[in-house]
Structure 1
Amino acid sequence: MKGFRFGRAFCGVLAAFLLVLGGLILPAVAEAEFQGTQDERYPQVIPADYIEALARERLEKTLEEQGETRRYTIMLSRKVQGMRCPEGTLVCETELPKDLRYGGLNPVYVKVYVNGALYRRSICYYELHVYGQMLVAARDLRPEQLLTAADVRFEEHEVENRSEFYLEDPALVVGRVPNRVIRSGSPITDGILQNPVVIDNGAPVQLVANYNGVKITTEGVALQKGRVGNIIRVRNATSSKILRGRVIDATTVEIL
């Protein structure tokens, strides 16, 4: 009898346990059935190719808006995944979070909105290379070397810095000097050239000043070397007063 009562009690506990377990499992199963499959919950698909094309179009449009007419290449650096979206009206927008970087990676945001609300954002990375016709060094050029037309040649070269002014006219090179070594084949930019030294330290110069429309000239001495356009210190030969002036040419300094 004791064994029978124990068996009945055990069966009762087991039945209660199964009821509780069933209460936990059945709602979860019902909820999963209610949610449906992934295809049912996210029936709309934006292909990866479409996302990449939108990002590329944004880059090309930005180049056009900035007036870029030189040859360029755009290459996808990292593949993106397609995007599943819920039911609703889809709108895609693109954004460049940074200024264009020539010769480097450019991220492009592709934002997806569902019924007017931001759903997800995908990021495409493109390498941008721009090429233009420009002057390059025909040979290694030394600092302070007076340049001639024979020192440069015209060819297509990659634009390494969008903000640099790449020279295309030999007339802008002739008579100037490099401020550093320029290797053969390197582009010639305005920033690496300067005017030659025309006044040496201790050289006699003519000092010119304008006071109320009256031009006054006197003799002076340069206290430092200077190029056309430089501001240098000079000494008035008559009064020995130290002044500052702008170099006009090899013999003239305009007092400031």
Structure 2
Amino acid sequence: MTRPLTFLHMAFLLASGCMVSMACAAGSSTSVQVDLSADVAISQKRFTLGQIAVVKTDDNEIRKTVESLEVGQAPRVGYVEQYTKEELDRLIHSRVPLMRAALDWHGAKAVKVRAAGHSLDNAKVVESAREYLAKELGAKFKRVELNSAAPVADIELPTGEVSMTCRPLEMGRLYSRAPIWVDIRVNGEVYRSVVVTFTIKVAQEVYVAKRDLPAGTIALPSDFETRTEDVTDNPEGLVSANGLSEATRLRKAVGRGQMLRREQLSPEGLVFRGDSVKLILAEGGVVIETRAIAQQDGVVGQLVKVKPETSAEAFSGRVLVGGVVQVEGK
């Protein structure tokens, strides 16, 4: 007596049928021919089997699957990677486990893969660095002279949109040689970084003393002439033209023909011993002003001893500004 099929039995038989069909498909002997190229230039970052070989088969699904297999990453420009038939055969069978048929290989025994690219003229890299440096220095100095200090080789790049950017230069201290790093981008990503070195000369209008000026001299702009001088060695320490007030006390001597440096100027508000200063005494709403002789050096905010011209007694006063002292007590 035949027992009626239950739902579970039917489901089991259907599932078994599917598994058999899959096994038959897996064991099919669909012919797949692969014609391997000998040398291929790749323009993308990664490449597939279809880019290095021609796949022929009657089964379009198998052909598309084999062609789309990712083989690897394209080498950098100037380098070559080689893949043999045996390596590619193992790759295909490991990636497509349902395909049991042997591959019919034709063409080269191995394929050499290189990145498609082009040379970037070194003059373009140098000019990019020169334009950046000239702009940066030109904003600070009257004259800038730049000369390439070392050769830059042509650069091999992959295909794509090329752009160049220069890394910011530390301007705190200027040297006679400056390396400028140029980042070369392909399609927005940094591919190479190249250093371009320049020798630098910069000139600025500065004050040059017409005569010897001892320390303590009240220097006037008329004591100097303005010249455009090479200031490469110490551009930050020099007083540029129009940077000198009407009357400035010299802290250090300046020799005739020497350029004026900031370190030779006294700080603003400085009072020297022996200076004639205005002395202010304010008490109870009464303000008295007279002249006095400073007995000490001092800067704004500092207490110094002063002696009125009409008195032999010294007073302690605070420096308000250059040449002005306010009495605070005996």
Deviation at 1:29, TM superposition (A): 8.0
One-letter code aligned to 1:233: V
User: Are residue 200 (structure 1) and residue 274 (structure 2) matched?
Assistant: yes
Corresponding residue for residue 34 of structure 1: 111
Corresponding residue for residue 82 of structure 1: 154
Corresponding residue for residue 203 of structure 2: 131
Unaligned runs of 5+ in 2: 1-80, 88-108
Deviation at 1:103, TM superposition (A): 5.0
Corresponding residue for residue 43 of structure 2: none
Rate the CA distance shift 1:208–1:117 in 2: closer, same or farther, 3 A: same
Corresponding residue for residue 50 of structure 1: 124
One-letter code aligned to 1:232: L
Distance 2:218 2:314 in 1: 34
How does 1:168-207 map onto structure 2 within 5 Å? 168=241, 172=245, 176-194=248-266, 199-200=273-274, 206-207=279-280
Deviation at 1:228, TM superposition (A): 7.9
Distance 2:258 2:110 in 1: 67
Corresponding residue for residue 91 of structure 1: 163
Corresponding residue for residue 60 of structure 1: 134
Provide the TM-score with structure 2 as the length reference: 0.51
One-letter code aligned to 2:115: R
Q: Quick check: which one's helix share is greater? A: 1
Provide the TM-score with structure 1 as the length reference: 0.63
- Higher Cα Rg: structure 1 or 2? 2
Coordinate RMSD, CA, aligned = 4.4
User: Are residue 233 (structure 1) and residue 304 (structure 2) matched?
Assistant: yes
How does 1:154-173 map onto structure 2 within 5 Å? 154-160=226-232, 161-164=234-237, 166-168=239-241, 172=245
Deviations 1:142-201 (A, max 9, x none): 32345466743332212354444625359746x544322434332124442238865439
Distance 1:116 1:170 in 2: 45
Corresponding residue for residue 143 of structure 1: 215
Deviations 1:189-247 (A, max 9, x none): 4442238865439x998343478xx354489987842368573323899xx99855016
Deviations 1:83-136 (A, max 9, x none): 112233322222224227545333322111223322110111223322133320
Q: Is the 8 A contact 2:206 2:239 kept in 1?
A: yes
Rate the CA distance shift 1:230–1:193 in 2: closer, same or farther, 3 A: farther
Rate the CA distance shift 1:142–1:86 in 2: closer, same or farther, 3 A: same
Distance 2:321 2:82 in 1: 88
- Paired residues in the alignment total 218
User: Are residue 113 (structure 1) and residue 185 (structure 2) matched?
Assistant: yes
Q: Is the 8 A contact 1:42 1:87 kept in 2?
A: yes
- What percentage of residue pairs aligned between the two structures are identical? 16
Q: Is the 8 A contact 1:149 1:170 kept in 2?
A: no
Q: Secondary structure at the match of 2:111?
A: helix
Q: Is the 8 A contact 1:198 1:249 kept in 2?
A: no
Q: Secondary structure at the match of 1:208?
A: strand
Corresponding residue for residue 326 of structure 2: 254
Rate the CA distance shift 1:42–1:124 in 2: closer, same or farther, 3 A: farther
Deviations 1:36-55 (A, max 9, x none): 5xxx5362111221111000
One-letter code aligned to 2:157: C
Alignment counterpart, residue 142 of structure 2, candidates 67, 70, 73: 70
Q: Is the 8 A contact 1:200 1:222 kept in 2?
A: yes
